[in-house]
Amino acid sequence: MINWRDKHSSNFTLAHFGLMFLFLAIALIISATTYWSVFLEPQINDYSRTQSNLIAQSHSWILADELDKNVINERMLVERMDEILILSDHETEIPYIHGISIEADNVKNISRVISRGDISCKGCFNIKIPLYAKSNHELIGLANFYSNNDLYNFVLNNIRSKIIIALILIMLFIAIAWLIIWKQINKTREQDKRIQLDLKKQKEKAEVASRAKSDFLATMSHEIRTPMNGIIGMLNLFKRTSLTEEQSNFLDTIDVSSEQLLLLLNDILDISKIESGKLDLENIHFKLSELCDDCVHLIENRAKGKGIELYIDVQPDIPDDYIGDEVRLRQILINLLGNAVKFTEHGSVTLSIKELDKNDDSVKFLFSVIDTGIGITEEKKHLLFDNFSQLDSSTSRMYGGSGLGLAISKKLVDAMDGEIGFKNNPGKGCTFYFELRLSVAPKVSVEMFTDDSYENTLNFNLSILLVEDNEINCYAAKTLLKQDGHDVVVAKNGEEAVNAVINSAKEFDVILMDIHMPVVDGIEATRRIRALEDANKQTIPIIALTANIMQDEKQECIKVGMNDFMSKPFTPERLNSKLKSVLRTEV
């Protein structure tokens, strides 16, 4: 259905075409008239006069012959003049010569002037031709040939009518062509509208599907991470109890399994976000040495279990403070280190970091993970960075894995404007490497961050409001926080949390706020807390705790006034680090 704007646009286009046709017609008429009056008409006039002149000259010798005879017969001369007068154009039958007069003052026995035909015709022009005797070339008379413009006018009118007909035909042809073009354009416009409408519908369907996919991923993330948070939380509590060596081994196995399950879940969510274009990179300050130590520490237990040595080889004298996406860089390194350990049965895995070039603002690094594992055959190289790809089915059975780690690593490196690749030595191991430029962090005063008294205050009896509706997660988090020496008040939903903040005699140092809860969710609860009149209660630091790690929810948390965001499941170390970070900012 075409709205009024489309209809108005179509009418305007038709009027526009009509005006263009009118302008073209006027231009053709002006051009034809100018050509006619300036060039064609004078040429036809000259042609007509030249034609009459040639006829007069070609017949003047006949008259000269009659006058040059010893005995001149005036009757024969008149007959010759009459013969000339009857000459006419074979198509129009218009005579070329309308009248002839001969002036023969020097010829005896004839009249001084002999005239035939119409020598006084209106509009005639005179062609004077001298007559000479053949014998002595003396002038014996003067012939006057009279011709009018009848033939010229006829030719002129004939050509004019043909030009007018040609112009009419040309205009008709242009009009038909113009109409066909306009119809085709109008048809194309209608097709474009239909295509645009179809594209709009397809886009809407795609957006609905994308939203449905995002909602599904968010739901699945929440549903899977919520029990995972309980498992890991209770596991961390269990580790703090007195354990036998066998029990410790059991817990380590559970710890590794839960870590692998969490990594798989993160991989699936990440590949979905990357493919939907919703992957956002952060630019935060981090220390490169701490990042490398954390990555190696996470892989250390797996390496020890296989008897593999882990090494870090960092080029000396390089700066340690940078700005970039620490989380994504850690994810890439853990994927590469995890793969190296997985496919190495004996020997070592080395994380190497070298400086390629630098300027005042940034440093370009070469990160390499070198292993002594099985290597990669030539025919399987092209599969390395494909989604869900394994070198072969036996690889999946023997070593496990989803086949997403390298694909995600490549997409993350590409997103950070880097390059990733590998060097292979089948049977002796391989090297996966990527080049990445990191911005150098500006130098700032670190006195506040190294103050021992401040670090101690973070470990001394914080008053924490824990807002969590899941009983298992609530119990695990509450117990961990209490074991670390903090006072914990629990609220099961957002409404209880707001009431606790309003009614508490002692101000809370920080609020750990779950997002998805009954009655009032964490977003609305935060909005209400930030709207309180009491300035101290209004500005209590709030950390979001959620099993949904989609970027939209992170942005919503920051938008309503939360200070930071932490995804479930989390370890005690991560929680303490987040508390220190948020409270340090508040200081």
- Rounded CA-CA distance 311/349 in Å is 6
Cis check for the bond before 319: say yes or no (omega within 30 of 0). no
pLDDT at 7: 44
Q: CA–CA distance from 190 to each of 1, 14, 186, 194, 328 (Å)?
A: 10, 14, 6, 6, 48
Q: Residues 6 or more apart from 3 whose CB is under 8 A from it?
A: none
Closest among 422, 420, 416, 415 to 435, alpha carbons compared: 420
Q: Residues, the chain, total?
A: 587
For the CA atoms of 122, 128, 129, 132, the dihedral, rounded to the nearest 10 degrees, stands at 120
pLDDT at 492: 92
Closest among 397, 402, 420 to 410, alpha carbons compared: 420
pLDDT at 396: 42
E runs forming strands in 372-519: 419-425, 429-440, 463-467, 487-491, 510-514
**Cβ 97 vs Cβ 53: under 8 Å:** no
Q: CA–CA distance from 2 to each of 13, 180, 201 (Å)?
A: 15, 22, 16
DSSP character string of 110-176 = S-SEEEEE-SS-TT-EEEEEEEE-TTT--EEEEEEEEE-SHHHHHHHHHHHHHHHHHHHHHHHHHHH
pLDDT at 75: 82
Q: What distance lies between CA 278 and its chain's CA centroid? A: 16
* Residue found by looking up tokens 């950390």 in the block: 543
Q: Measured at the alpha carbon of residue 86, what is the angle toward residues 81 and 87, in degrees to the nearest 5?
A: 100
- Rounded CA-CA distance 521/514 in Å is 8
Give the CATH class of 283-440: alpha beta
CB atoms within 10 A of CB 216: 11
Q: Residues 6 or more apart from 562 whose CB is under 8 A from it?
A: 513, 526, 542, 543, 544
* Domain residue limits, the chain: 4-148, 283-440, 458-586
Query: Per CATH, is 4-148 categorized as 3.30.1140?
Result: yes
Q: CA–CA distance from 20 to each of 26, 87, 139, 167 (Å)?
A: 10, 51, 66, 17
CB atoms within 10 A of CB 121: 14
Task: With residue 413 as reference, give the H or E element that holds it.
Answer: helix 405-415
Residue 333: exposed, middle, or buried by beta-carbon count in 10 A (0-12, 13-18, 19+)? buried
Give residue-wise pLDDT tens across range 392-416.
Answer: 444 444 444 445 678 888 888 988 8
Provide the 3-class DSSP secondary structure of residue 287. Answer: strand
Q: CA–CA distance from 53 to each of 117, 158, 311, 315 (Å)?
A: 17, 22, 115, 108
Mean per-residue pLDDT of the chain: 78
pLDDT at 382: 58
Phi-psi group of 87: left, alpha or beta (phi > 0 → left; psi -120 to 50 → alpha; rest → beta): beta
**Cβ 450 vs Cβ 436: under 8 Å:** no
Q: What distance lies between CA 337 and its chain's CA centroid? A: 36
Q: What distance lies between CA 121 and its chain's CA centroid? A: 82
For the CA atoms of 132, 136, 140, 146, the dihedral, rounded to the nearest 10 degrees, stands at -10
Query: Per CATH, is 458-586 categorized as 3.40.640.10?
Result: no
Residue numbers of the chain with a pLDDT score lower than 50: 1-10, 388-389, 392-402, 445-457, 587
